[in-house]
């Protein structure tokens, strides 16, 4: 029963996020909006966290399996990936450096206090 309730909560947040994305035409994926809705609901204490926990733990435990379809789907675009390899690598490196710098600065200021 706990798994059913948990998955219904997660699914309801996902569908709400997809609905918001469809109605507003936002560039943010509906699944991300749904996660933000779930986060907000749990943060505000509108639902107890232990209601969503069983389903979340199950999904996280099997997360590696959820990446297989995405990896296989990328094979359809192998020629596009090869044509843009340099751009992808430079953007990945650049964004990683920005994250490292931001974390370093934030940690530096946090440790000062």
Q: Is pTM, for the whole model, over 0.75?
A: no
87: DSSP letter? H
| Helices 49-61, 2-24: inter-axial angle, 10-degree rounding | 90
Q: What are phi and psi of 26, to 5 degrees?
A: -65, 150
Q: 104 and 78 in one domain?
A: yes
Helix (H, G, I), strand (E, B) or coil at 44: coil
| Rg of the chain over all Cα atoms, to the nearest angstrom | 19
Q: 77 and 41 in one domain?
A: no
For the stretch 78-108, pLDDT in tens is: 999 999 999 999 999 999 999 999 999 999 9
> In terms of residue numbers, what domain contains 37?
1-66
Q: 36 and 86 in one domain?
A: no
How far apart CA 9 and CA 55 sit, in angstroms, is 9
pLDDT in tens, the chain (113 residues): 889 999 999 999 999 999 999 999 988 999 999 999 999 999 999 999 999 999 989 988 988 888 888 888 888 889 999 999 999 999 999 999 999 999 999 999 988 87
Contact 33, 26 (CB under 8 A): yes
């Amino acid at each position: 029963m706990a798994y059913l309730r948990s998955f219904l909560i997660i699914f309801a947040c996902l569908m709400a996020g997809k609905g918001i994305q469809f109605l507003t035409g936002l560039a943010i994926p509906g699944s991300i909006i749904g996660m933000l809705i779930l986060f907000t609901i749990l943060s505000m204490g509108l639902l107890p966290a232990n209601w969503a926990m069983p389903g979340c733990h199950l999904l996280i435990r099997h997360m590696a399996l959820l990446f297989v379809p995405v990896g296989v789907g990328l094979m359809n675009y192998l020629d596009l990936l090869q044509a843009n390899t340099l751009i992808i690598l430079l953007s990945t490196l650049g964004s990683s450096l920005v994250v490292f710098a931001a974390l370093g600065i934030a940690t530096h200021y946090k440790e000062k206090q």
